A and B are shown apart, each in its own frame.
Chain A
Amino acid sequence: MNNHSNTSHTGVTPGNTQEQSASLRTMDIVGKGLSRRYRAEKRFRLYGITAILLSITFLSMLFISITANGYTAFQQTFVQLDIFLDPDDIDAQALQDANYQAMVKKSLRAMFPNVKTRGQKRQLYDMVSTGAAYQLQDYVRKNQQRIGSVVQLWVPADDDVDMLIKGHIPRDVPETERRIKDTQLSWIDSLQEQGRIEKRFNTIFFTGGDSREPELAGILGAVTGSFYTLIVTLLLSFPVGVATAVYLEEFAPKNRWTDIIEVNINNLAAVPSIVYGLLGLAVFLNFFGLPRSVPLVGGFVLTLMTLPTIIIASRAALKSVPPSIREAALGVGASKTQMVVHHVLPLALPGMLTGTIIGMAQALGETAPLLMIGMVAFIVDIPGGFTDPSTVLPVQIFLWADSPERAFLERTSAAIMVLLAFLVTMNAVAVFLRKKFERRW
């Protein structure tokens, strides 16, 4: 022991002098390296800024490309037709039997009387949408007194005409590479001179169901489907999620069983959404025999998917309520349930609601599990209930994105804009709730 301390003591004195000379050198080394190190520091900062700017650039690229593609879909080209409602053709007793398609064609022929050949006629008819006949039928049903007179009606133009007017089909390419032929171009020009072609606000897009014809396709069916699906999701996932969170936070004893539930919920939150789709397919459709493509089953699947989100958020909200509140309630003689219902829940509710809205926003944007349970079908009718076949907004976007027509491209982008608008609103409400009711104890 003594020996050891001795050697260490004798070792110190020469070491000190060495360190002094070394410290001089260290200063030199530090000084030399300093500018390099400052450069590295600057570079590092630059990397950080670049990373953030990159992600913001990506974000703006995404928004700009979608808006640039989509804003034109909110307008649609309409053609004004003079249609003679011939009393010989329309039987007032059987309005639906009349051949409205023929009337539309007749009025087109009347506008361009020198069109003779079959091929040209077909090109002429192709300029207005097939939906024109249905629109005419609706008009006649509502205005029966007009039978026998000439009516002026604005009908939607075909999607190719629409694309040309909006400038998506270039005029200066050879005719064979263009979907609009030269004769059609001249007709469009003459119609434009007469003021018979006009871009108007596209109401069809907001009031129509899906369609194979881009100019007749709308999002109302998908929005309604999303609405029903989300209602089921909300009604199931909010009570169950809150109940689970309350049990785990307030009542559950700390034992193996609750540990399992907890780990389980954390894992479920990270299970890929498509696996929930497989679950829904195997359990709800194949085992329980529930119908395909309905909002009810979609709601079930999305409930299971959003439950972990809601539970985790609700537990965080319950955790943030200070124990003193609980102790005070118990102290004046409340039972545990009374303490939770009367004091803890009201204080935690804003946080729970925020979590639920975020979960709902997630569910609204979810596509993959719904593909599995058949909500990807082509459905024209607007669903009227929880068990009507329907699709949802993101799936509609997916379906339209697959369509080859140029006009569907802008409609897809516009549908995305609508979806993002819904999501932004939901998230804004969540942020507002959080800001308004957030309490720091």
Chain B
Amino acid sequence: MSSSNLLLVLLMLTAGGYFLGRRRAFVLAGASGRGQQILHSRPTYYGALAALWCALPALIVFSFWRVFESNVVTQMVIAGLPPDLQNLPADRLGLIINDIRNIVYANIVPEEISPAIQAAADHYTRLQAISHATLAVMVTTIAIAGILWVHKIIAPGLRARNHVETMVKYLLIACSTIAIFTTIGIVLSVLYEAIRFFKIVPIHEFVFGLDWSPQMAIRADQVGSSGAFGAIPVFMGTLLISAIAMCVAVPIGLMSAIYLSEYANKRFRAVAKPLMEILAGIPTVVYGFFAALVVAPMIRNAGVSIGLDVSSESALAAGLVMGIMIIPFVSSLSDDVINAVPQSLRDGALGLGSTHSETVRLVVLPAALPGIVGGVLLAVSRAIGETMIVVMAAGLAANLTANPLNTVTTVTVQIVTLLVGDQEFDSPKTLAAFALGLLLFVITLILNVIALVVVRKYREQYE
């Protein structure tokens, strides 16, 4: 039975459990002669209790089974392989397992299938069938057992509502821990692979090295693939592009926020604000296409016409477009903090005879500064983590340069190029992507934490 069918059956059983439980409660109430008064809870709660006990344990078993099924089956197939195959090194064994899986799922079947592998594939199919059948039987049994048990314990005095509410509460708690598990998952997965990477490449070489060329030699005699993992050029590239983006986004975003919140009348605001928010809703891949198609050639032509040598994948193009993307981010955050500045400060400044712009520059902005700084930090962390624009418009060559007309590469570009496509998971090349990912995560996390603390402090100041 396929998973979706099984889930459908479970859904039907749950619905059945609900009605059974409810009917049982009605029957009990009817038999007592005093009607529903004798029930502790309303009849629907008895139904809900049966439904919950039917669905929850079965779902838990189902998800655990599905999560570990493929690994267990693979291990069992490996155990069943002939000893000479089992003793192969891990990467060769992985290839064989891949072959077996391909045969099982009838994907791309390798040209020649050795009898041992064919046998293993049959074994795999058999084990999988057994596993699916067992799962189906277990899930339905557990579900039915749950219904029967609740059906049995339903009595007028059963505190069904309290039971259901407790279960719902634990369900809610479980949901709210998913966020925690996500963080733990991110940290562990990235950290684990990064540590493996730092065993191959020393951490000081990674953090302080000036040379980045992650192409590893496949054969020992190959030339030109040194496999150097010095991340400084990559970081400098990221910083350069983010700095360009900030140079575009901060002045434009801040000025438009000031204009919208201090000067604009209601009608202008009602038109301009949504228009600017459209910029925030455009997918980054569209910006990337725009950068590569329109902005980069434009900058190149402009540069050539005044006699400058501009690379076709210049940092300037990527940074400029990234800046455009971040404008609404800066402007809406600044708008919030500027609006939070108490009106009395403005009234005071205006009353002393300062002009509107002086009020804004000398009173409102200094008062809003912490909040604006927080918003800008959030924007910086976004710029550093932005991927698609730089993948499409920035280059791959890791040049250590501060010239915005040159090609630079960024952390995210490197992660994408190192990990897209089929990769083995023990070469330093792929592990390097996780090391970069770890640094990316840590840097953005620090920026976010600082920004959040600053913004929160600032809010409390005026509340």
Within residues 156 to 195 of chain B, which ones have a CB less than 8 A from any CB in chain A? 161, 164-165, 168-169, 171-173, 175-180, 182-183, 185-186, 189-190, 192-193
Chain B residues touching A, majority SS? helix
Decide: B189 and A283 in contact? CB cutoff 8 A. Answer: yes
Decide: A275 and B440 in contact? CB cutoff 8 A. Answer: yes
Q: Which of these binds chain B: A135-143, A187-195, A258-266?
A: A258-266
The residues of B that contact A50 with a CB separation of less than 8 Å are 255
The residues of A that contact B176 with a CB separation of less than 8 Å are 243-244, 247-248, 252, 261
Decide: B285 and A272 in contact? CB cutoff 8 A. Answer: no
- A233 part of interface (Cβ distance < 8 Å): no
The residues of A that contact B178 with a CB separation of less than 8 Å are 240, 244, 304, 307
- Name A281's closest neighbour in chain B (CB-CB): B419
Chain A residues touching B, majority SS? helix
- Name A260's closest neighbour in chain B (CB-CB): B180
Q: Using a CB–CB distance below 8 Å, which chain A residues touch chain B? A: 30, 37-38, 40-41, 43-45, 47-52, 54-56, 58-59, 61-62, 65-66, 69, 239-240, 243-244, 246-248, 251-252, 260-261, 263-268, 270-276, 278-279, 281-283, 286-290, 304, 307-308, 311, 335-337, 361, 364-368, 371-372, 376, 386, 394-395, 397-398, 401, 409, 412-413, 416, 419-420, 423, 427
Would you list 21 pairs from A and B whose C-beta atoms are within 8 A, ordered by A residue?
A: A51-B256, A52-B272, A55-B327, A56-B272, A56-B275, A61-B294, A62-B287, A66-B286, A246-B172, A247-B176, A266-B448, A272-B386, A274-B415, A279-B189, A283-B189, A289-B71, A367-B387, A368-B388, A394-B283, A423-B281, A423-B282
Decide: A288 and B419 in contact? CB cutoff 8 A. Answer: no
A48 to B2, CA, bound (A): 60
- Name A269's closest neighbour in chain B (CB-CB): B448
> Which of B258, B290, B292, B324 lies in contact with A48, CB distance below 8 A?
B258
Decide: B70 and A289 in contact? CB cutoff 8 A. Answer: yes
The residues of A that contact B388 with a CB separation of less than 8 Å are 367-368, 394, 398
Q: Which of these binds chain A: B142-150, B202-210, B356-364?
A: B356-364
The minimal Cβ–Cβ distance linking A172 to chain B, given in whole angstroms, is: 22
> Which of B173, B180, B276, B355 lies in contact with A40, CB distance below 8 A?
B355
Decide: A282 and B190 in contact? CB cutoff 8 A. Answer: yes
> Which of A37, A243, A263, A368 lies in contact with B416, CB distance below 8 A?
A368
Decide: B416 and A65 in contact? CB cutoff 8 A. Answer: no
A283 to B185, CA, bound (A): 7
The residues of B that contact A287 with a CB separation of less than 8 Å are 189
A394 to B68, CA, bound (A): 32
> Which of A47, A286, A397 lies in contact with B425, CB distance below 8 A?
A286
For the complex with contacts A38-B355, A308-B179, 16 further pairs of A-B residues with Cβ separation under 8 Å are: A55-B276, A55-B324, A244-B178, A244-B179, A247-B173, A261-B177, A261-B179, A272-B382, A274-B387, A275-B186, A275-B441, A282-B190, A286-B425, A361-B281, A397-B285, A401-B289
A394 to B286, CA, bound (A): 8
Category for how many chain B residues contact A: 35 or more
- Name A389's closest neighbour in chain B (CB-CB): B107
The residues of B that contact A335 with a CB separation of less than 8 Å are 161, 165
Question: What 6 A-B pairs come out closest when comparing CB atoms?
Answer: A272-B385, A48-B259, A365-B283, A282-B189, A51-B255, A44-B357
Q: Using a CB–CB distance below 8 Å, which chain B residues touch chain A? A: 4, 67-68, 70-71, 74, 161, 164-165, 168-169, 171-173, 175-180, 182-183, 185-186, 189-190, 192-193, 251-256, 258-260, 262-263, 272, 275-276, 278-279, 281-290, 292-294, 324, 327-328, 331, 353, 355-358, 360-361, 378, 381-382, 384-388, 391-392, 412, 415-416, 419-420, 425, 433-434, 437, 440-441, 444-445, 448-449, 452
Decide: B165 and A337 in contact? CB cutoff 8 A. Answer: yes
A307 to B445, CA, bound (A): 18
The minimal Cβ–Cβ distance linking A64 to chain B, given in whole angstroms, is: 10
A47 to B327, CA, bound (A): 15
Decide: A427 and B281 in contact? CB cutoff 8 A. Answer: yes
> Which of B254, B272, B331, B437 lies in contact with A275, CB distance below 8 A?
B437
> Which of B177, B286, B356 lies in contact with A420, CB distance below 8 A?
B286
Decide: B175 and A65 in contact? CB cutoff 8 A. Answer: no
A49 to B359, CA, bound (A): 18
Decide: B171 and A243 in contact? CB cutoff 8 A. Answer: yes
Decide: B179 and A265 in contact? CB cutoff 8 A. Answer: yes
Decide: A251 and B169 in contact? CB cutoff 8 A. Answer: yes
Decide: A52 and B288 in contact? CB cutoff 8 A. Answer: no
The minimal Cβ–Cβ distance linking B363 to chain A, given in whole angstroms, is: 14
> Which of A61, A239, A272, A307 lies in contact with B182, CB distance below 8 A?
A307
Decide: A416 and B387 in contact? CB cutoff 8 A. Answer: no
Task: Assess A62 versus B290: contact at CB under 8 Å? Given A41-B357, A271-B445.
Answer: yes
The minimal Cβ–Cβ distance linking A237 to chain B, given in whole angstroms, is: 10
Decide: A267 and B448 in contact? CB cutoff 8 A. Answer: yes
Decide: B183 and A267 in contact? CB cutoff 8 A. Answer: yes
- Name A241's closest neighbour in chain B (CB-CB): B175
> Which of A41, A266, A286 lies in contact with B355, CB distance below 8 A?
A41
The residues of A that contact B186 with a CB separation of less than 8 Å are 271, 275-276, 278-279
Decide: B259 and A52 in contact? CB cutoff 8 A. Answer: yes
Task: Assess A55 versus B252: contact at CB under 8 Å? Given A243-B171, A272-B387, A365-B283.
Answer: yes
The residues of A that contact B433 with a CB separation of less than 8 Å are 278
The residues of A that contact B293 with a CB separation of less than 8 Å are 65, 69, 401, 409
The residues of B that contact A366 with a CB separation of less than 8 Å are 283
The residues of A that contact B183 with a CB separation of less than 8 Å are 264, 267-268
Decide: B251 and A51 in contact? CB cutoff 8 A. Answer: yes
